[in-house]
Structure 1
Amino acid sequence: MEINDLTPAEERVWRAFATGAAVDFRTAEDEDPAQGEGWGPERTVRAAVLRFLLLNGPEEQGETASLKLAGARIGGVLDLRYATTERAARLRHCFFDDAPQLYGAHIRHLNLSESVLPGLTAHTVRVDDVLRFTRCRFRGPVRLDGAQVSGSVFMEGAEFAAPDAEEPVLQLNQASVGDDIWAPGLRALGRVRLTGASVGGTVNLSGARLDRPGHTALQAQNLSVGADLLAMQLTVHGRVDLRGIRVPGQVGLAFARLSHPDGMALRASSAVIGELWLHETLPIEGCVDLRRAQIELIQADPGVWPAHVHLDGLTYATLAPHEPAERRLPLLERDDDGYVPYAYEQLTASYRRVGDDHAARLVQLAKQRRLRATRAWYARVWGYVQDATVGYGFRPLRAAVWLLSLLAVGSIAYGLHHPRALKASEAPEFDPVFYTLDLLLPVISFGQEGAFAPDGWYQTLSYALVIAGWILATTVFTGVTRNVSRQ
C-alpha cells in the first residue's frame, strides 16, 4: 500500500504511527461512539490501513511506533488472523463497521476502551501486555476462548449483547490470564463463559449485571483463580454455574442478588473455596447446589438460603455469624436429597470447634429425629420412646425427671398400702422408697422386691414400674453408648 492511496484522515494516522503520537478525531470529550455510523470520510479509517501499520508500518529511529487512535470510524474488517505484531494498538472511542478478526494473532497490547463493535473473534489470541475493553459496547459475540494474556483483562463497565446469537456473548473458556480479570460494572445480555479458564490474580465482577432468565447466565465450571472471585452487588437473572472452581481466597457474593426461580440459581458443587461470603445477600431465588464442595468459611445469614438446597458431601470448617442451632437446622431439613446424615455431622463439628456443645447436641438430636422419619413404624415407635424419655441420650436429665416422678408415684402408693411379706419372719422392714427403687432399677437390689408381694392394682403398678425401669435403663445406655462412640 502506498501513502498516496490514503485519505487525509488515514494519512494523519499514518504519519503519527511512526512516533506513537495519538490521533483524536473527536469533536467533544463526551461524544458517543455509538453514533459513529454517521461519521463521514473525514474521520473514517479503513481497517486495511490499520492492519498494514501494525504489521509493516513505518518506524522512526529513537521512537516507539504504535497505533493510538480515538474517535474514528473503522471501515471494513480489521483482519489480523495468525499475524504477529510488536506494536501496541490503542483504538479508543472508535466505531467498528465489522467485527475484528484476531484468530491466533500475537499482539503486544490491545486497547479498545469506550469503542462500539459488532463483535470480536479472537480465539487463541496472545497478548503480551494487557487486554482492555473498558466501557466497550459489543453488539455481537466476543470470542476469546483459549486466549493467553500475560497481564490483565480490563472490562470495567463493558456491555456485551448478541440478541440473535445462541452462543455466549462473552467467551473466555480455557483462557489463561496472568494477572486479573477486572470487570466491575460489566453488563451482559446473554451467557458469559469462563469454563476452564485460569486467572493468576483476581476475578472482579462487583456490581456486574448478567441477564439470561431461564438459562445459564454465568458458566464458570473448573475456573481456577489465584486469589479472589469478587462479585459484591452482583445481579444475575439466570443460573450461576461455579461447579469445580478453585479459589483459595474469597468468593465474595455480599449484597448480591441471584435469581433463577424455576431452576438452579447457584451451583458450586465439587468446588474448593477458601471463604464463601454471602453477607447481606438477598434471599436466593432458586435452588443452591453445594454438594461435595470444600469451603473453609461460609459467611451467610440463615435467611439467605432458598427453599431447595443440595448439601450432601459439603465440607466446611466455620459458619459465620454464630447462630443458634434452631436457626441453622431448617436448612438441613430443606435438602432435596432427603435425609443427609453428613450434613448434620458437619454442622455438629462446626459448633464443637467454637465450643458450643449445647448447639452440637441439638443438631445431633435433630439428626436422630430426621432419621426416625425414614424408618419402619416399629422403629419409629422405639424412637419416640427414646426421644420422650432421654432425648436420644442428648438430654440425660430427662431420665432423672422420669425416675424421680415414678419414684414419687410408687413411694406414695406403697406407702399408703404396704404389700404383704412373703416370709414375715425373714422379711426386712418395709421401705416404700427403696421398694420402688428395687422395681425401677434393673441391676441394683436393695432386698425389698424379693421380700414383698403386692396384689391387685398394686401388683399391676409394680409391673409397670419394672417395665419403665428397663425402658429408662435401655434408652440411657443407648444414649451413653452413642456419645462415647462419637467421642
Structure 2
Amino acid sequence: MSETNDLTPAEVCIWRAFPRGESVDFRAAENEDPALGNTWGAERTVRASVLRTLLLKAPQEEGKIAALKIAGARITGVLDLKYATIDAAIRLSHCQFDSVPDLYGAQLRQLNLSKSVLPGLTSAALRVEGVLRMTDCRMRGPVRLGGAQISRALFMERAEFTAPDDSEPVLQLNQAEIGDDVWAPEMRAHGQARLTGASVAGRINVQDAEFNNPDGTALDAQNLNVGAHVRARCVRARGRVELRGSRISGRLDLLHAHLSHPGDTALRASSCVIGELWLRGGDRIEGVLNLRRSQIEILTLEPEMLPDQVYLSNLTYSVLTPHEPAERRLPMLELDGEPYEPHGYEQLTAAYRHAGDDDAARLVQLAKQRRRRTTLTWYGRLWGYVQDATVGYGFRPLRSAVWLLSLMIIGSIAYGLDHPRPIKAGEAPDFNPVFYTLDLLLPVVNFGQEPAFAPDGWHQWLSYALIITGWTLATTIVAGVTRTVSRQ
C-alpha cells in the first residue's frame, strides 16, 4: 500500500475502486450543479496527477476489469495523458475540472465526461476505440478534437460550448473520423463550430441545436462527408452555415430551421452532393442562400423560406417538392443575384415535366425568354416583344389564331362595306370580303381575290397594314414553332 501513503482519503477510495471497475460517487445529491465545484472541500477533491498515475500504472485485480469511474469530484491540476495508451475505460461524470485536460494523441478505450464542467479540452489526434460522451457537458473554453478518430459514436446531447474570446472555434472537429453517429440534439455553441473535412460514417443529429456566431461563421462544415442523414430540424443558426463541398448521402433535414445572417450568406451549400435537401416549414432565411453547382436528388424547398437573394447557378436536381404553380417557383430564379443564366429555367422546366405538369413547364420557358429579352440589343428586345405579344414565343400558339381572327373580322367588315374596284371590269371574280382579307393576311395562300382588285385611299393603307401584319405573324409563328420543335 506504499503507493497510497501520500493520497487523500478521496484519492485512496478511487485507487482502491479502480482495479475492480467500481464507481466512486462523491455527490451529495443527484441534481447538484458541478459548476459549483470550486466550493467543494477536500473530501471530494482529486488531483489530476493521481488519476494520471493510476491510469498509467493500471493496477489489476484478478477476475476484474479495471475502469476509472468517478462522479461528483473536483479535479485539480492538468490531467495530462498526452500520447498515452490507456486500456481502461474512463468515466469522469458530474465533475469539475479547474484546468484543461490534455489528451493530445492519446489512445483510449472509452471516454465519458457527461455532465461535467471543463475549462476546455485539448484532444487533437485523440483515438477512442469505443464512444466519446460529452452529454450535458459545459465547456468554458475551446474543445480541440481536430483529427480525432472515434471508432464508435460521439455524444454531445445538450452540451454547451463557450469560450472567453472568439480567437478560435469553440468546437473543433475538423478532419475528425467518426465510425458511427454524431448525436448532439439541443447542443449550444456560442462561437464557431468547425467540422471541416470531418467524416461521419453514420448520422449527424443536431435537432434543436443552437449555433451562435452572428459576426461570422456559426457552423463551418466544408467538405463534410456523411454516410447517412443530417437531422437539423428546428436548428437555430445566427451566423453563416458553411457546407461548401460536402457530401451527404442521405437527407439534409432543415425542417423548421431558423437561419440568420443578415447582410451576408446565411447558408452556403454550394458544390455539394446531397441525396435530399429539406428546406420547409421554417422562418424565412435572413441572408443569402447559395446552392451553386450542387447536385441534389430531391429538393424540398418551400417558397416562403426563400430570402431576397439566392444563388442557383448550375444547381441540378431531379425532383422539386412540394408541387407548386410555376408562378410560385419563378421568383426564386428572378431572385438569383447573378446575370441571366438559362440553366436554372431549364432545370425548373425539367422538374415540372418530371411531375407531368406540362403547362407549368411552358410557363417557365416563357419566363426564360422574357428574362433573356432583357439581355438583348434594342432591336432584339423589340422583336422579342412582338413574338411575346403575338404567339407568346411559341408557347401560346392560340394567341396567333386570335390575332388572325380579329384582323380578318376587321378587314371583312371594312371591305364588305366598301368594295375595292376591280382591276379589269368584267374579268374579275365576284368580290368576297372574307377571302380578300385572307389573301392579304396569309402570304402563302392565294384565293384569287387580292390580284383581281385594286384598293385605293384608306382601303389601300388598310391592305398595307394587313399584309405587313400577316408577314409578321407568319414569321413569329414559324420562329415559335421552330423553337418548340427543336426543344422537343
Q: Which TM class, normalised by the smaller chain length?
A: over 0.9
Structure 1, residues 373-406: CA drift from partner, whole Å, max 9, x if none?
1111111111111111111111101000000000
SS at match of 1:91: strand
1:424 Cα deviation from its structure 2 partner: 2.6
Q: Does 1:190 align with 2:191?
A: yes
How far has the Cα of 1:331 moved from its partner? 1.1
C-alpha separation in 1, matches of 2:401 and 2:191: 64
Partner of 2:138: 137
Q: Using a 3 Å threshold, how does the CA distance of structure 1 residues 165 and 381 change in structure 2: closer, same or farther? A: closer
Corresponding residue number in structure 2 for 1:312 = 313
CA displacement, residues 253-312 of structure 1 (integer Å, 9 cap, x when unaligned)? 101100001100000000111111112011000000000011111212211000011011
Counterpart of 2:285 in structure 1 is: 284
Answer yes or no: is 1:55 the counterpart of 2:59: no
Q: Distance in 1 between matches of 2:275 and 2:484?
A: 31
Q: Give the deviation of 1:202 after TM superposition.
A: 0.4
Are positions 1:273 and 2:274 aligned together? yes
Q: How does 1:71-110 map to 2 (within 5 A)?
A: 71-110=72-111
Counterpart AA for 1:71: G
Q: Deviations over 1:88-120 (max 9, x none)?
A: 000000000101001100000000000000000
For residues 139-168 of structure 1, give each alpha carbon's deviation from its aligned partner in whole angstroms, at most 9, with x where no partner exists. Answer: 000000000000000000000001224100
CA distance in 2, matches of 1:210, 1:235: 6
Q: Which amino acid aligns with 2:379?
A: Y
Name the CA distance, whole Å, in 1 between partners of 2:238 and 2:302: 22
1:59 and 1:165 map into 2 onto residues whose CA distance is: 44
Name the SS of the counterpart of 2:136 in structure 1: coil
The yes-or-no answer on 1:39 pairing with 2:40 is yes
Query: TM-score when scaled to structure 2?
Result: 0.99
Deviation at 1:425, TM superposition (A): 3.6
What TM-score, normalized to structure 1? 0.99
Q: Could you tell me the percent identity over the aligned residues?
A: 66
Q: Is 2:361 the partner of 1:356?
A: no
Deviation at 1:226, TM superposition (A): 0.4
- Pick which of 269-278 and 151-160 moved more: 269-278
Where does residue 334 of structure 2 map in the other structure? 333
Q: Which residue does the alignment assign to 2:408?
A: 407
SS at match of 1:2: helix
* Counterpart-to-counterpart distance in 2, 1:93 and 1:87: 19
Tell me the distance in 1 between the aligned counterparts of 2:394 and 2:179.
56
**2:91 alignment partner, SS class:** strand
Q: Secondary structure at the match of 2:436?
A: helix
Distance in 1 of aligned mates of 2:166 and 2:22: 38
The equivalences for 1:154-303 within 5 A come to 154-303=155-304
- Asked if the contact 1:22–1:67 (Cα under 8 Å) also holds between the matched residues in 2, the reply is yes
Q: Deviations over 1:395-435 (max 9, x none)?
A: 10100000000000111111111112222343222211111
Aligned residues: 487
- Is contact 1:140-1:165 (8 Å) kept? no
Give the whole-Å Cα distance in 2 for the aligned partners of 1:444 and 1:55.
102
Say if 1:211 and 1:237, in contact at 8 Å, map to a contact too: yes
Question: Matched residue of 2:109: which SS?
Answer: strand
CA apart distance, 1:340: 2.1
SS in 2 for 1:163: coil
Partners of 1:481 and 1:296 in 2: how far apart?
32
* Secondary structure at 1:216 match in 2: strand
Counterpart-to-counterpart distance in 2, 1:101 and 1:452? 104
Distance 2:245 2:426 in 1: 82
Please give the alpha-carbon distance, in whole angstroms, between the structure 1 residues aligned to 2:341 and 2:92: 56
Correspondence 1:395 to 2:396: yes
Report the Cα distance in structure 1 between the residues aligned to 2:165 and 2:326, rounded to whole angstroms: 50
Q: Take 2:251 and 2:465, find their aligned partners in 1: how far apart are those partners?
A: 60
The 8 Å contact of residues 214 and 262 in structure 1, kept in 2 or not, is answered as no
Q: Please tell me the residue identity of whatever aligns with 1:188.
A: A
Q: d(CA) in 1 for partners of 2:5 and 2:405?
A: 110
Deviation at 1:448, TM superposition (A): 1.3
Q: Structure 1: how far apart are the matches of 2:394 and 2:455?
A: 33
Residue equivalent to 1:469:
470
**Partner-residue secondary structure (3-state), 1:18:** helix
Distance 1:260 1:479 in 2: 44
Task: Report if aligned partners of 1:244, 1:270 keep a CA contact under 8 Å in 2.
Answer: yes
Instruction: Give structure 2 stretches of 5+ with no counterpart.
Output: none
Q: How much does 1:342 deviate?
A: 0.8
CA distance in 2, matches of 1:372, 1:267: 30
Distance in 2 between the 1:165 and 1:278 partners? 30
CA distance in structure 2 between the aligned counterparts of 1:287 and 1:340, rounded to whole angstroms: 18
Q: CA RMSD in A?
A: 0.9
After TM superposition, the structure 1 stretch with the greater mean CA deviation from structure 2, 297-306 or 14-23, is: 297-306
Tell whether the 8 Å contact from 1:141 to 1:165 is kept in structure 2 after alignment: no
SS in 2 for 1:5: coil
Amino acid at match of 2:13: R
